Structure 1
Amino acid sequence: MTSVIISRIQRGCTCFGMLSNVILIQLIWYNSPKSLGVYKYLMIYIASFELIFAFLELVTVPDMFSNDSAFFVIIDPRKTMLAEGFCQMAALIFCGAFAVSLAIFGVQFAYRYFVLTGNTSMTSKSYILLWLGSPLLFAGVWTASCAVFLTRNQFVDTVLREEVLPSLGYLEIDRLAFVGVLFFPRDGSVNWDSVYGMILCSCVLASTEFIMFFFAIKSYLATRRLMGSLKLKRLQWQLFYAIVSQASIPILFMQIPITAIYISTLFNSSSPIFDQVQAVTVSFYLATDALPTIFIVKAYREVLLDYCRCIQIKIVWPRKRIEADSSGAPT
């Protein structure tokens, strides 16, 4: 019963997130202030990524398993819309999307800082590929680490057969697509593949966090020192608050829960409740991350509110039947 409720919450949140990102892309493309310049394309890039991430979550239907020192992201080929041969690649891409979701806001803060400080060379169209490609570089390192160190080995296969496959109707292990860690097998040894993989992923995570916080602080200080019209200052503050709100959502709904899971696995004390929480919070991230930009940036908010005001809902009550019989008139 719990799994059914969680699945419905995931599907509902994911579909809502896709709709909100489609709306945001339309608002950015048609209603952005002209002063945004190239930054408009970076905003569309972020919204498009979140749309793709939501679509991937919808078609792969990933499950999560957490217990003791093990944590796996699992794709059951019988539940997904993808061909079975693509399931393992989809699992790796899904995990790589997690890295992009964190790196993308560091890049966004860095771009905002260069705009605010008047660095026209770094914010010109000739550097747009650098800004768009940087998150993919972090995702590539993360995905490669998962592919090399966080897939099957003898220790992981044992846990999958004994603890995971029975809940999946004893699916053949070769058909199961997954990425995950197992630090301490039951024989008392250490699974060094998981250790190496988590070290690399932690380095990627620390790098993205450093870039994000470093340029967030510098962007805040640059915005405070900004000279210009009141309208320009208001727009820059709106963009800053929108980025801060957007960046806080993946930290709250993805980074904090996944960090708690990995810490618990390191202490050999993870619990199945963690994977249920993580499954729901990922969907919450997808559902809410577009909303700050839509409602904080005045140009987008006003267009959306004006559209909502134009929608008229008319309630038509059924007419009461005329009691013609009471007058004796024929019907």
Structure 2
Amino acid sequence: MIYISWFEIAYSILDVVVSPIVFSHNSIFLVFASAKDKFLSKFTFSILNSVYCGFFGSSMGMFAIHFMNRYFIATGSFSQTFKGNRIFLWMFIPPIYGIIWGSSLHFLCGPNEKLNREIEYPLLTAFDLKTEDIVYVGPYIYQKNLNGAYEIDQNSVIAIAIMWCLLGSSFFAIIYFGTRCHIHISKFSKTTSSQGVSLQSQLFFALVTQTMIPVVLMQIPCAILFTCTFLNTNLGQLSGISTITIAIFPAIDPLPTMLIVKNYRVAISGFFRNYKVVKVERRAGI
């Protein structure tokens, strides 16, 4: 939980610094940021934009590890699985996801002249920005050549295929370990105290809810954008909705654990009750 908290804090800070925008136009899917009148160089902003994409990829690995962690705790094998230095191996999985995701976009889907020509008018119309004012990464699948014919860009296809694999592996881990965890808790309830079952159930449903948030706010919008890009479908400014949902994810993600797990809920309500009492006492001069 501490690891995830630090990750989301860093993700939020990077989001504020870069202020990325997701934009879809026909077979183009861009993550761009305005580098105009910024305190950092355009090259630095370009790197930070790719790092931001990498953080998004890291979150895919984070969700999977979270469910696996919950399963190992429920089955009592946590201490063996995460014993000693093994815990660092597990903690490296999200960064590996992020490095693969960010590198795929940065090196395979970086800026090029064909893409600049294609996005020049849509950017100017929708955001009043020129291509020289932004940094971006993003696939451009069906590229128009000088003869006006369309060609499939292999680099874009490879990059999207890699991201689909990462997205799919994250989904698989969530479904597999989530199902196993639910089955184990159901069996566990027959052989242990009601208090233990209640705590495990609370943690499990908090985890399910906590995972549904990024699925709805991040994974589904990302999957829709990828699909529309392959289908050469123009979402236009509707693709900007994903920019908003991704930005609010770190703020909403901790809420399920805080509200569903009884111990956390009682502690939070107690804090506000004490705060209210102190405030009243100060006003009364006590």
> How large is the Cα RMSD of the aligned pairs?
2.4
Cα deviation, residue 236, structure 1: 1.4
Cα deviation, residue 166, structure 1: 6.3
Cα separation, 2, equivalents of 1:52 and 1:281? 17
Cα separation, 2, equivalents of 1:82 and 1:289? 30
1:210 alignment partner AA: F
How many pairs does the alignment contain? Answer: 273
2:98 alignment partner AA: A
When normalised by structure 2's length, the TM-score is 0.87
Cα deviation, residue 250, structure 1: 0.8
Q: Which residue of 2 aligns with 1:100?
A: 58
CA 235–263 in structure 1, closer or farther in 2 if over 3 Å, else same? same
Cα separation, 1, equivalents of 2:246 and 2:57? 13
Q: Provide, for residues 193-228 of structure 1, a one-character-per-residue CA deviation record: whole Å limited to 9, x for no partner.
A: 211110111111111111121111111111222243
CA 218–266 in structure 1, closer or farther in 2 if over 3 Å, else same? same
CA 217–81 in structure 1, closer or farther in 2 if over 3 Å, else same? farther
CA 98–285 in structure 1, closer or farther in 2 if over 3 Å, else same? same
**8 Å Cα contact 2:258-2:265 kept in structure 1:** yes
**8 Å Cα contact 2:167-2:219 kept in structure 1:** no
Farther-moved stretch of structure 1 (292-301 vs 83-92): 83-92
Aligned-residue identity in percent: 27
When normalised by structure 1's length, the TM-score is 0.76
Q: 3-state SS of the aligned residue for 2:81?
A: coil
**Match for residue 75 of structure 2 among 105, 117, 127:** 117
Q: Structure 1: which 5+ residue stretches go unaligned?
A: 1-42, 317-331
CA 118–315 in structure 1, closer or farther in 2 if over 3 Å, else same? closer
Cα deviation, residue 82, structure 1: 4.4
2:241 alignment partner AA: V
2:271 alignment partner AA: Y
Q: 3-state SS of the aligned residue for 2:80?
A: coil
The within-5 A match list for 1:187-206 is: 187-206=149-168
Q: Which residue of 1 aligns with 2:99?
A: 140
Q: Structure 2: which 5+ residue stretches go unaligned?
A: 281-286
The within-5 A match list for 1:245-264 is: 245-264=209-228
CA 299–79 in structure 1, closer or farther in 2 if over 3 Å, else same? farther
**8 Å Cα contact 2:24-2:239 kept in structure 1:** yes
Give the number of the structure whose alpha-carbon radius of gyration is greater.
Answer: 1
Cα separation, 1, equivalents of 2:175 and 2:152? 34
Q: Provide, for residues 216-257 of structure 1, a one-character-per-residue CA deviation record: whole Å limited to 9, x for no partner.
A: 111111122224333222221111111111111111011111
Q: 3-state SS of the aligned residue for 1:269?
A: coil
Q: Which residue of 1 aligns with 2:283?
A: none
Cα separation, 2, equivalents of 1:312 and 1:117? 41
Residue 217 of structure 1 pairs with residue 183 of structure 2: no
Cα separation, 2, equivalents of 1:80 and 1:238? 46
